[in-house]
Structure 1
Amino acid sequence: MSDLSVSDTGRLDAILRADPGLMHVLTTMRGLDVPDWRVFSGAVYQNVWNHVSGRPVGYGRKDYDLGYFDPDTSWDAEDVVIKRVAAAFDEPFRSEVEVRNQARVHIWFPDHFDEPYDPLPDTDTALSRFVAPAFSVGVRLEADDTISVAAPFGLEDMFAMTLRPNPNRPCAKGWDKIVASARTRWPELTVVERQAD
């Protein structure tokens, strides 16, 4: 994991706590005792981009992506967790919180994204495989009310509103679509394309 500065994590903490919807999701999830869980992707980086660009809290957010890790890779076991999480929320959160067992990603990812995907040992390792460092940030509300942060590439790209391909994996097949979608909502993004080898 990358070393995270206290100032960056403190800044992220303040931004996330200013989003009542996200805090509701984090607080509810903490009470469910789901193993090795994190909220990641848009629920985190979009909050930062909105803060940096002066947009309202929640702008551009479609859902709350939530990963957890259970060595039982059966669909039935994951479905139990999905239903338990859904039952803990009222609408609109029930429809917006998307839960996936990270231990199962290697089962469906190749067919869905036409890319290979090795099995994961835990939820935080999944972050190192996300398509861009700015997306590779996960958070969890701990028992002592701190927000723990996992960010294998650090927080610099996220705060700088910079999109660059993950240097540790092939560029995502849908990279151009990902960039176009993000630029539609945050046109001031800086996009750094991967250099040819």
Structure 2
Amino acid sequence: MEKYEDTLLEIVNKSEPLRRVFKVLQHSELPFDYYIGAGCITNTVWNYQSGFPLKYGISDVDVVYYDGEDLSPESEQKYRDELVCKLGDFPFKLDVKNEAGVHLWYEKKFGFSIKPYKSLKTAIDSWPTTATALGIRKEQTGSYKIYAPYKLDEGEDSCSGCSITQENEKITATITWNDKTETVNLKNNEKILH
């Protein structure tokens, strides 16, 4: 998988905004681990592979962390404000979330409750598509840490197809994984295995 990790990092580092966020977070001496993840990473890769500008279609940068001691929205806002201040003029919204506290607001936003995540990795494991269940952080040493629970390659244990469709109010994600297809109604989390 090292080949895929190298390719991922090469593409992500072509994005000036992502390089800036990685650099700022690398030198921030945060009291917890974090990852930059989800759509900003995968969209950058898809844009590169499709020949689009790297920023195309990206609305925000997700910075996730896990602090079980302080679940307050004020702490999330404090970290977000510090990041915004250090980045200055930045083309994307910053979405900074403490994954330890997601269960506190999830039901109000999505219509169903979830159990508290036990770690940052278990939170990423639960993200709604395997393609976006991905996090990268730049360590203080300059090396990168990639967390990809569903792998980066196209081996036997990988996603072979993902789609999201919307028909009226119904939003559905369909993911094919190891010859099994799972369909999730994203509005009420109904799951159907094929």
* Shorter-chain TM-score above 0.5: yes
State the 4+ residue runs in structure 1 displaced beyond 3 angstroms. 159-162, 164-167, 194-197
Within 2, Cα distance between the matches of 1:97 and 1:115? Answer: 25
CA displacement 1:95-139 (0-9 Å, x = unmatched) = 622111111101001110112211112222211111110010110
Q: Identify if the C-alpha distance between structure 1 residues 161 and 89 changes in structure 2 by more than 3 Å, giving closer, same or farther.
A: farther
1:170 CA displacement = 7.4
Asked if 1:125 corresponds to 2:135, the answer is no
Structure of higher RCO (CA pairs closer than 8 Å, 6+ residues apart): 1
- Matched residue type, 1:53: S
Residue by residue, what CA displacement relative to the aligned partner does 1:5-58 show, whole Å, maximum 9, x if unpaired? 111111101111111110101111111123211101111100111122122221
Q: Secondary structure at the match of 1:18?
A: coil
What residue is the counterpart of 1:88 in the other structure? 86
Q: String of CA shifts for 1:67-110, please: whole Å, max 9, x gaps.
A: 011111122333322222222221225x6221111111010011
Q: Give the structure 1 partner of residue 136 of structure 2.
A: 139
**Distance change in 2, residues 1:11/1:125 (3 Å):** same
Residue 31 (1) aligns with residue 33 (2): no
Which residue number in structure 2 is paired with residue 6 of structure 1?
2
Contact 1:134-1:161 within 8 A present in 2 as well: no
Greater helix percent: which structure? 1
Residue pair 1:102, 1:123 contacting (<8 A) in 2 also? yes
1:101 aligns with 2:98: yes
In proportion to residue count, which structure has more strand?
A: 2
Residue ranges of structure 2 left out of the alignment (5+ in a row)? 163-173
Aligned length: 173
From the superposition, tell whether residues 21 and 36 of structure 1 become closer, same or farther in structure 2 (CA, over 3 Å).
same
Please say which structure displays the higher CA radius of gyration: 2
- The yes-or-no answer on 1:21 pairing with 2:34 is no
Question: For the structure 1 residues 170 and 123, does the alpha-carbon distance in structure 2 shift closer, same or farther, using more than 3 Å as the test?
Answer: farther
The equivalent of 2:167 in structure 1 is none
1:155 aligns with 2:165: no
> Structure 1 residues 38 and 196, CA, compared in 2 at 3 Å: closer, same or farther?
closer
Match of 1:189 in 2: none
* Structure 1 segment 49-68 matched on structure 2, within 5 A: 49-68=46-65
Q: Secondary structure at the match of 1:171?
A: strand
Q: Which residue identity is paired with 1:77?
A: S
Query: Aligned-pair distance for 1:174?
Result: 4.5
Q: What is the root-mean-square deviation of aligned Cα atoms in Å?
A: 2.8
TM-score, with length taken from structure 1:
0.77
User: Percent identical across equivalent pairs?
Assistant: 22
Asked if 1:173 is matched to 2:186, the reply is yes
CA distance in 2, matches of 1:54, 1:161: 22
Q: Is the 8 A contact 1:46 1:60 kept in 2?
A: yes
